Amino acid sequence: MDAAIATLDIRDAADAAEAIRAAAARNQPLGVIGAGTKRRLGRHAPSPRELSTRALTGVTLYEPEELVLSARAGTPLRDVLTLLDANGQQLAFEPLDHALLFGGETCAATIGGVIAVNASGPRRIKAGAARDHLLGFHCVTGRGEIVKSGGRVMKNVTGYDLSKLVTGSFGTLALLTDVTLKVLPKAETEQTLLLLGLDEGQAVAQLRRASGTSNEVSSFAMLPAGAAPLCRVETVAALRIEGPEVSVATRRDALAAALRDSGARFETLPFAESAAFWAALRDAAPVAGHSGQVWRLSLAPTDGVRALARLRETGAPILAHFYDWAGGLVWLCLEPAADAHAPAVRAAVDAFGGHATLIRASDETRARVEVFHPQPPPLAALSRRVKESFDPAHVLERGRMRAEV
């Protein structure tokens, strides 16, 4: 059992800077926390003290006509989504909600936490990841320096694009205090074309084939037989089409015609069912409901099926899986093991030049097993130099991404 963690609510960037400088002087690591929905992401390396952004709330700028929104980092994600929805807009990268994977309240995350872990959903293959929608931010580095980067429009970003560094850094480089995001109009409607009657390899091949058509498919997924939320008795390939109603129907029919020689049977999920289906996939529902260890594999779309086949050859006990991003993202649930089957999983991924991240496991396992994929030496050296530039004393989230001695 970890010792009790002391939490300090910061009121502004100056508070954070003072606390970080004091911790660096004492060589004392600090955790960074918003709503706590991502405590179980990353390596288990709790710090004795945490800086909380829960007092840093509120949307500070929203100009719907300019497609831009600024908010303090502790602002609840639900508040941002509610405001955008009222204006017919959205975060196009569909931030993943970890509630199904870890338990807890749905949509309880903070906007700063979403950016810190680069939480992106099924539309990423078309719309980009969270980092691609971050226009600018304010933060406090591990040096205790207050930094502003970027601006309100993409053309204002000059020099180093620091947004790409802090997004997905899990708080190890800087504590975000404010973020500015690009927002986009919501589609008028959506439908999902389902392809039935294919085996797993054939289904994923049709996803890739659909991605090469001119029908502007926004999401591509494959569910094996029995997988939630559809729970069909056969494999299902799913293709989401969004936009004006007339355009969606026309593109759906054109897509079905283009794929007719696949031998698949076709069904269509209408608007409400389609939206619910992709929300479930966004939150990893097909694997989240199984009581096992969850991995996330990222590969070229042509290699997802082959990597999983190689893993099966090792006898790894797969409980559930599904494919997103046209086969390039594989969510995988395995029976629990002390090493989380890391050697077998990483060997299967390494064979195709991808990487694997352990998403869900016990604290003990995540303290023992490297959660993030080992980096090649040149990239690891670059990562160390970036960390040293932002946080030379390794104050922020020490050990969260890599074991430290």
CA–CA separation, 197 and 266 (whole Å): 9
Full residue range of the structural domain in which residue 96 is found: 1-186
pLDDT band at 67, cuts 50/70/90?
very high
Which among 142, 157, 186 is the end of a domain? Answer: 186
Per-residue pLDDT at 117? 97
Q: 245-258 and 200-211 helices cross at what angle (nearest 10)?
A: 130
pLDDT band at 157, cuts 50/70/90?
very low
Q: Is 8 a domain residue?
A: yes
Work out the mean pLDDT of the chain and round it to a whole number: 95
| Tokens standing for residue 129 | 């990841």
pLDDT at residue 372 tops 50:
yes
Residues 17 and 134 in one domain: yes
> Phi and psi (nearest 5°) for 121?
-110, -160
Residues 126 and 269 in one domain: no
Residues 38 and 104 in one domain: yes
Per-residue pLDDT at 3? 60
Residues 262 and 306 in one domain: no
Residues 17 and 144 in one domain: yes
CA distances (Å), 278 to each of 95, 203, 371, in order?
A: 12, 17, 26
Residues 177 and 306 in one domain: no
| Tokens standing for residue 292 | 């096992």
Per-residue pLDDT at 384? 93
Pairing of strands 59-63, 68-72: antiparallel
Residues 180 and 194 in one domain: no
CATH no. for residue 350? 3.30.70.100
Residues 236 and 333 in one domain: no
Which among 186, 221, 256 is the end of a domain? Answer: 186
| Tokens standing for residue 255 | 């897509």
For 81-109, how does the pLDDT look when each residue is reduced to its tens digit (9 = 90+)? 999 999 999 999 999 999 999 998 999 99
pLDDT at residue 161 tops 50:
yes
C-alpha torsion angle, residues 71, 76, 80, 83 (rounded to 10): -120
Per-residue pLDDT at 151? 66
CA–CA separation, 122 and 141 (whole Å): 31
Residues 14 and 94 in one domain: yes
Q: What's the structural domain count of the chain?
A: 3
Residues 171 and 245 in one domain: no
For 163-183, how does the pLDDT look when each residue is reduced to its tens digit (9 = 90+)? 889 999 999 999 999 999 999
CA distances (Å), 368 to each of 33, 36, 61, 231, 364, in order?
A: 22, 22, 43, 35, 6
Please report how many Cα atoms fall inside a 13 Å half-sphere around the Cα of residue 19, on the Cβ side: 24
86-101: b (≥16 Cβ within 10 Å) or e: eeebbbbbbbbbbbbb
